[in-house]
Amino acid sequence: MLEQILSALMYPFLFLSMFFQVLLLISFFENKKKYDEEEYHKLEHFPSVAVAIPCWNEEKTLPATLDSLLALDYPKDKLSIMVVDDGSKDRTYAIAQEYAAKYPGLIAAISKENGGKHTAVNLALARSTSDLFGCLDADSFVAPHTLKTIVSYFERDTEIMAVTPCIHIRRPKTFIQRMQAVEYLMGVFIRKAFGSLDAIQVTPGPFSIFKKEVFEKIGNYHKAHNTEDFEITLRMHKAHLKIANSHKALVYTVGPSTAIGFFYQRLRWARGFLENALDYRELFFKKEYGNFGMFTLPMAFMFVFYGLYAALFAVYTSAKQIAVLIERWLTVGIHFQVPTFDIFYFNTNVMSFIVMVMLTMFLLVLYISNTLTDDRQQFFRNFPIFFILYPFFVPLYLGRAVFDTFLKQKNEWVLQDTKK
């Protein structure tokens, strides 16, 4: 009886997951022709662009980040780069000063007391007089064509107020980074499909570009539970400002290299999502906010809890099967034999069929993502690692995020969110 109840509760989760995947796939194929055309709009006007680089102890990656910006195929007299050192304890500010001295008028080095990423970005925002404004994390790197590609969206559609890029993990080496490479690859498709639905959920720190008037309409960045990128996206949707995605605008970021680094990063993201979503719960199931309010935001919120339930259900099912196996061994003994496969004994119940269909669609999503981006990822090499490791991490950081959010735990662990 208990197992039947637990199984019955799984069906809504599986149905919603399948519905979600089908919706995104239909949206993608309906707009496939437009996707093929929109990335090749020839830019006729070059608006001025300011890029803020908020830094805190980033001496190892800052030089490469600045070099990638200097290599942009964009008129340098239209580009302004502001490195804002947020109270670093290493040579971050000294490196910024060296670049500012070498490229006067193009790069500015700004130092301030530690106050968080949002204060660093807001300081640069206050000093910017450019038409467009963006932020680039100091551990991220842009491809030469990226800025031109993003700016072309604003010229092609004047209603667009922000454009997000296509993000990949830079040179994944460890198993944890290779796992993230698949996750980020999946994000290529999801952001593009969400863009078609006008339902992009986050304008990520690595090189999302905004029209300056966005901040005049909705204000500057907030601390926002240590996920200011998500919060400002919620404010944009609340103000009915359009966000697009460019799947050819390549940006690379350094993913956490260790399990503990990955865990704390995703814990920060998950808790920030939950707390900001609760702060903006008035957007849930409101027609005036379109697909974002009616579908993608509440669906993402519910999936946090359903994901935890699915993990617990999997643990319960596995534990029961192990118990049956042990009982059989104790009764008749252990008899080793060569495993055989017979299609006649293949499990064809409804839940197994749904899971197989979802897995097939998931693989299709990854294939489409790999064809969308100009950077072909080592999919077949990294997917087995993702398939094995990722399901282990998700319930851990989601469970901790739910616990911390609803028991209002302090955020000391944010300091452990490092690229270890």
Burial 214-232 (b: 16+ CB within 10 A, else e): bbeeeeebeebbbbbbbbb
Burial 310-340 (b: 16+ CB within 10 A, else e): bbebeeeeeeeeeeeeeeeeeeeeeeeeeee
pLDDT the model gives residue 418: 47
pLDDT the model gives residue 416: 44
398/26 Cα distance (integer angstroms): 29
DSSP 3-state of 162: strand
Q: Is-contact 245 194, C-beta < 8 A?
A: yes
| All domains in the chain, ordered by first residue | 1-30+161-200+234-253+261-420 (no CATH), 38-158 (3.90.550.10)
Q: Which residues contact 14 (CB under 8 A, 6 or more apart)?
A: 351, 354, 355, 358
Q: What is the pTM of this model?
A: 0.89
Tokens of 231: 């919060």
pLDDT the model gives residue 209: 97
pLDDT the model gives residue 344: 52
106/103 Cα distance (integer angstroms): 6
Place of tokens 């997000």: 164
CA 145, distance to chain mean position in Å, is 21
Tokens of 324: 């049956």
Q: Is-contact 192 406, C-beta < 8 A?
A: no
368/138 Cα distance (integer angstroms): 29
Residue 26 backbone dihedrals phi, psi, to 5 degrees? -65, -45
pLDDT tens for the chain, residues 1 to 420: 666 776 777 777 778 888 888 888 888 888 887 777 776 667 888 999 999 999 999 999 999 999 999 999 999 999 999 999 999 999 999 999 999 999 999 999 999 999 989 999 999 999 999 999 999 999 999 999 999 999 999 998 999 999 999 999 999 999 999 999 999 999 999 999 999 899 999 999 899 999 999 999 999 999 888 899 999 999 999 999 999 999 999 999 999 999 999 999 999 999 999 999 999 999 999 999 999 999 899 999 998 988 888 888 878 787 888 888 787 777 776 766 665 555 555 556 666 777 788 888 888 888 888 888 888 777 778 989 999 999 899 999 999 999 999 888 776 555 445 444
80: part of which helix (H) or strand (E)? strand 79-86
Place of tokens 């490092």: 418
| Amino acid letter, 231 | E
Beta bridge partners of 253: 140, 169
pLDDT the model gives residue 150: 95
286/220 Cα distance (integer angstroms): 25
pLDDT the model gives residue 348: 60
81/108 Cα distance (integer angstroms): 6
